[in-house]
Amino acid sequence: MASFALRCWTEISRAQLVSNYRAICATVGAGVEVAPVVKADAYHHGAVEVARVLAAEGVRWFAVATAEEGAALREAGLQQRILVMSDALPRDHEALAHYRLTPVIHSLTSLQAWDALARTRQAPLPYHLKIDTGFGRLGAMSTDAEVVGAVLAASHVRLEGIMTHFASATDYESRQTEEQLGCFQRLLAVLAGAGIRPSLVHLASSAPVAYGMREAWGNMVRPGIALYGYVPAARGAAPPNVLRVKPVLQWKASVLTVKDLPAGFPVGYGALFRAPKPMRIAVISAGYADGVPHTLSNKGQVIAGGRLVRILGAVSMDVTTIDVTDCPPLRPGDPVTLIGQEGGVSQDADELARAAGVISYAILCGISSRVRRIYC
């Protein structure tokens, strides 16, 4: 295929990714395994490349959401252990075993099915068991006695890990995390009393690591958003953030055209904006098909010419219009920045998300596949 000009792209820093990973490892210490979460194509950072970079750092586990995501890593040559965290559909069990993926089992019925497959294959397949400690989403809600009975009965598979997931890890005005932790610890004690001691115990994603919640670390943590440079904001009397990370990704787009508008001239679909005075606008090559939230219409900002400038009118599918009246002269092909830094001005995914009325996860994961990635 011919080489095309960059219209909309992300720049992803391998060095910053490594720095963030090392910061997480240093925070939890040598006794805690770090399993980077590379689901959703590593939050759009590119799961295969992210995994390759971290594999060179000695990572032993990766966490993904689906069997298909795990298989893609295997087919790219990654040999590390891969934990599939979302409940696999029954027809995926064979694929899990084929690709040497370790499933998180979310119900005792699924455990029976996984055990039956292991019996058929005559292989002691490993699994991690997830307990719903009060999230009300995925995870077994059985009694402690039922869990013990099911684990002991599943004699053809090996319980390697046990886990839960916090619903309100950043909300220090709520007791939910404390209640979930207590529920989980009680089950661990019951399992130990029955002679069941999984080698891996994990509860924490990014927030419990960043806010130093050691009792929730177990001996493995599952950092996601922190790996890519963001710490979820806390509510209430939170302890200090002990983790220092920086964004790995910058998001840019090219200027397509620059034009002068007379006072009163409309901009974009529905004429959501009309120039109150003579203005200069630029049309940039990024729209909602690239991941720019439509909710940024008439209120978001980007960085152009080293200055924060407003989005004017509706965000379109392929383009967005910005106000460059007070910017240094821009020409077609010049870059503008949606996420990143130009000179002394910066905007990160958190700031873009607040303007759009969403969360930073949605901004990063929403960057579409047609946005080209450049690794540096």
Residues 138-143 have a mean pLDDT of 85
Residue 94's alpha-carbon distances to 71, 101, 186, 281, in angstroms, are 12, 10, 33, 55
Assess whether pLDDT exceeds 70 at residue 291.
yes
pLDDT for the residue 5: 82
pLDDT, one tens digit per residue, over 273-285 is 999 999 999 999 9
Please check the confidence at residue 36 and state whether its pLDDT lies above 60: yes
Alpha carbon 241 to chain centroid distance?
Answer: 19
Which one has a higher pLDDT value, 3 or 237?
Answer: 237
* pLDDT (0 to 100) of residue 343: 83
Confidence of residue 200 (pLDDT cuts 50, 70, 90): very high
Mean pLDDT of 344-361: 96
pLDDT of the residue at 4? 83
Q: Rounded to an integer, what distance in angstroms lies between the CA atom of residue 176 and that of residue 188?
A: 18
- Give the residue-averaged pLDDT of 176-188: 94
pTM listed for this prediction: 0.94
Q: Catalogue all structural domains in the chain, each as residue range(s) with its CATH number.
A: 31-228 (3.20.20.10), 249-375 (2.40.37.10)
Distance CA 325, CA 273 (A): 15
93-97, 135-139, 247-251: range with lowest mean pLDDT: 135-139
Per-residue confidence (pLDDT) for residue 134, from 0 to 100? 84
Q: What is the pLDDT of residue 66?
A: 95
Q: Tokens 């963001």 map to which residue?
A: 230
Task: Kindly tell me if the per-residue pLDDT of 1 is higher than 60.
Answer: no
pLDDT reading at 2 higher than 80: no
Using a pLDDT cut of 90, give the percent of the chain over it.
92
**pLDDT value at residue 365:** 96
Residue 93 to residue 106: CA distance in whole angstroms: 13
Sign of the C-alpha dihedral, residues 198, 200, 206, 210? positive
The per-residue pLDDT for 337 is 98
For the chain, how big is the Rg over CA atoms in Å? 24
pLDDT at 12: 98
Amino acid at 353: A
What does the pLDDT look like over 62-103, one tens digit per residue? 999 999 999 999 999 999 999 999 877 778 899 999 999 999
| Measured CA distances, 223 to 73, 134, 155, 227, 231 (Å) | 18, 21, 32, 6, 10
**What is the C-alpha to C-alpha distance for residues 295 and 358, in angstroms, rounded to an integer?**
9
Spell out the SS3 assignment of the chain: CCCCCCCEEEEECHHHHHHHHHHHHHHHCCCCEECCECHHHHHCCCHHHHHHHHHCCCCCEEEECCHHHHHHHHHCCCCCEEEECCCCCHHHHHHHHHCCCEEEECCHHHHHHHHHHHHHHCCCEEEEEEECCCCCCCCECCCHHHHHHHHHHCCCEEEEEEECCCCCCCECCCCHHHHHHHHHHHHHHHHHHCCCCCCEEECCCHHHHHCCCHHHCCCEECCCHHHHCCCCCCECCCCCCCCCCCCCEEEEEEEEEEEEECCCCEECHHHCEECCCCEEEEEECCCCCCCCCHHHCCCCEEEECCEEEEEECCCCCCCEEEECCCCCCCCCCCEEEEEEEECCEEECHHHHHHHHCCCHHHHHHHCCCCCEEEEC
% pLDDT > 70, the chain: 99
Active centre residues (catalytic)? 39, 269
**What span, in angstroms and rounded, lies between the C-alpha atoms of 47 and 364?**
13
Residue type, 55: A
pLDDT of the residue at 142: 85
Strands 249-261 and 279-284: antiparallel
Question: Whole-angstrom Cα distance, residue 188 to residue 224?
Answer: 25
Distances in whole angstroms, Cα of residue 181 to Cα of each of 83, 147, 207: 22, 17, 14
pLDDT category at 3 given cuts 50, 70, 90 is: confident
Residue 292 has pLDDT above 90, yes or no: yes
Query: Residue 95: its pLDDT value, please?
Result: 93
Contact 174, 168 (CB under 8 A): yes
Arithmetic mean of pLDDT over the chain: 95
